[in-house]
Amino acid sequence: MKISPFNKEKILEITEKYGTPFYIYDEKAMRENVRNLLSSFSWCEFKEYFAVKATPTPYILNILKEEGCGLDCSSMAELILAEKCNVSGESIMFSSNNTPLEEYKKAMNMGAIINLDDITHIDFLKKNLYIPSTMCLRYNPGHFAVWNNIIGEPGDAKFGFTKKQLFEGYKILKDAGVKKFGLHTMIVSNELDGRCFIEVARMMFELVVEIYKELSLEIDFVNLGGGLGIAYRPEEKSLDLKDISEHVKDLYELLIIKGNIKPFKLFTEFGRFITGPYGYLVSKVIHKKEIYKNYIGLDATMADLMRPAVYGAYHHITVIGKEHKPALYKYDITGSLCENNDKFAIDRLLPHIDTGDIIVIHDTGAHGHAMGFNYNGKLRSPELMLKEDGSVRLIRRRETLDDYFATVNISEQ
């Protein structure tokens, strides 16, 4: 059973003050999770670059910075967000693709590590800017045994360098005077099988050895990307970080240390794993509708959380105050968009729901609010933080109609 860090009394107090719907995050749990990640990989020089796209909220980025994380940015806005959180230099990994020139310019001005997605971008940088002294290349292994449905078979994914391009790219960069080299990949997303992560580490470590043997080039850091999954369903088992880390350590010792390869730093850029389980979308039941099926109408919509509609993703749902009642009623839990896929759950068994009930949608701390949109003129929800002392702080206000109309000139016909 999934539990929330707040009881009925607390949630009613919060809804009274802030209205619904809203996102709320659990600061204590988030901090503990990051500490656990860092201690699991303390056997090596490890750094987590939090994937800003998962939860681009300054208060959260500051918490993660305090805990020792860097930031993985992929756009101008994410770079500026990092800047506003006083994160710069090699604490930023700029992992973008099809990157506009201005974004490279900004990232390089900030001293970020540039993680190149394509070989043609070496010439693009040479022609328009310069080649920084630290460069990372994103590898796409093409046909590879490890992949999952979200990103798809690596050979069909738009990201990264082929193996041949990778070797050629390092050669060109070495000749251009690059001093520090990184190797990056990301081929799975929301993966709950720890063996995938271990196999990706094996592939990367073997590649480091091959690059050294073929090019006499030493890799300074390996970035294993994001993609660790979280247990969205109550019956799913969370990943065992310590076990994954132990296996990766064994591979590191076998292939790198015993192989007399220069030790390198290990980086990750997890998003979902860092914040996903510690965010909740809280919404009120505003209508019930009974036709061929039974519908529960919330004041949140897929504009607040599009994962169920777009990916068919499961998010656990609880009804505040009814957590222990039997789940005997089958409902579609819907929003109010004029789209039939505007549903948080289909045929979900839940306790009897009444208008006015407060619904909690779990595991929305990553790729949740961030993926929100304004279709049907829906306004983005606020974000709240449940702080360690039990107080609640508004960390992003609710969007207003003025915000919505701010980009159009209504008087001009």
Ligand X SMILES: Cc1ncc(COP(=O)(O)O)c(C=O)c1O
Contact residues: ligand X, CB under 6 A: 51, 53-54, 72, 95, 186, 189-190, 225-228, 269-273, 366
CA–CA dist 145, 238 (Å, integer): 23
CA distance 24 to 5: 10
> Considering the complex, what minimum distance in angstroms separates the CB of residue 290 from ligand X?
38
Angle between helix axes 101-109 and 76-84 (nearest 10 degrees) is: 20
Residues 6+ apart with CB under 8 A from 146: 187, 188, 196, 199, 200, 203
> CA dist 346 to 173, 176, 343, Å?
52, 56, 7
Alpha-carbon distance of 239 to 157, in angstroms, equals: 25
The nearer residue to ligand X, 93 or 300, going by C-beta atoms, is 93
What's the min distance (Å) between Cβ of 184 and ligand X?
8
Radius of gyration for the chain, computed over Cα atoms and rounded to the nearest angstrom: 23
Task: State the nearest-atom distance from the C-beta of 268 to ligand X, in Å.
Answer: 8
CB of 232 to ligand X, least distance (A): 12
Using the minimum distance from each CB to ligand X, give the nearer residue, 18 or 278: 278
Comparing CB distances to ligand X, the nearer of 159 and 264 is 159
CA dihedral 377→279→223→140, nearest 10 degrees, is -50
CB of 49 to ligand X, least distance (A): 8
Of 226 and 297, which has the nearer Cβ to ligand X?
A: 226
Of the pair 199, 269, the CB lying nearest ligand X is at: 269
Residues 92 and 48: their CA atoms lie apart, in Å, by: 10
The number of angstroms, rounded, from the C-alpha of 44 to the middle of its chain's C-alpha atoms is 23
Q: How far is the CB of 168 from ligand X (least distance, A)?
A: 22
Q: Do residues 326 and 362 touch, judged by C-beta distance below 8 A?
A: no
Q: Which is nearer to ligand X, 236 or 388 (CB)?
A: 236
Rounded distance between C-alpha atoms, residue 189 and residue 400, angstroms: 34
DSSP string, 140-169: --SS-S---TTT--GGGS--SB-HHHHHHH
Question: CB burial class (10 A; 0-12, 13-18, 19+) of residue 272?
Answer: buried
Strands 22-26 and 279-290: antiparallel
**Minimum distance of ligand X from residue 407's CB (angstroms):** 26
> Given the complex with ligand X, which of 297 and 372 has the nearer CB atom?
372
Minimum CB–partner distance for residue 9 and ligand X (Å):
33
Residue closer to ligand X (CB basis): 226 or 308:
226
